[in-house]
Amino acid sequence: MEIRSQPVGQNPQDRRVDITRPTREALKSGVEEAVAENKVDAAAEEAAKAKRIKNAREEHAEALDKRVDNAREQESKEQRIQNAREQAVRERIQNARINRQDRIENARDIDERKQAERIKNARNLKDEIRISFDARPTDAERTARLQSLKDLHDAGKLHDEERLARAAERLLQGDA
């Protein structure tokens, strides 16, 4: 309600006819109704929006859980593969160590057999001379032996065919 200091009809603006007033008032009341309807629609729209957001969040959480599970499963597979690779490497290293030890032991056995054979062959040789410290030849015996070897050498009979053949065989076998 408007308070006026002048009586109605005296103001020139009051004499004008406002032909748009009914339309404005109708629009105003319609807008108010529309605003009231919009408030109801807005509340329903807000509820629908909240529901869509909630559903989207749930879908996102489910997708995230699925990706995490898949990643864990993939990581588990990769870890098992990596563990299998590491185990294979460890087994290869262990097998190489065992093979190396076997080769060393075999080489030792072969060397021991060769050494035993050398000793056996050395005992069987006729041209072997063993002198112990207790039984050294006297100077006269030594001089006589040297003289006989010198005579054989001068005569060309010191290195006969049999001795040369045995020496060549020993050289070829690596027993020298």
Asked whether residue 103 falls in the same domain as residue 155, the answer is no
Q: Does residue 15 fall inside a structural domain? A: no
Domain span at residue 52? 26-128
Residues 162 and 77 in one domain: no
Record the tokens describing residue 144, joined without a space: 């006589």
In a shared domain, residues 120 and 150: no
Q: What are the tens digits of pLDDT across the range 9-44?
A: 556 555 566 677 767 776 677 666 666 666 767 777
> Is residue 78 a part of any domain in this protein?
yes
Six token digits for residue 72? 């864990």
- In a domain, residue 162? The reply is yes
pTM of the model as a whole: 0.30
Q: Flag residues of the chain having pLDDT under 50.
A: 1
Q: How many domains does the chain have?
A: 2
**What pLDDT does residue 1 have?**
47
Nearest Cα neighbor of 114 from 164, 172, 173, 166 is 173
Written as one letter, the residue type at 8 is V
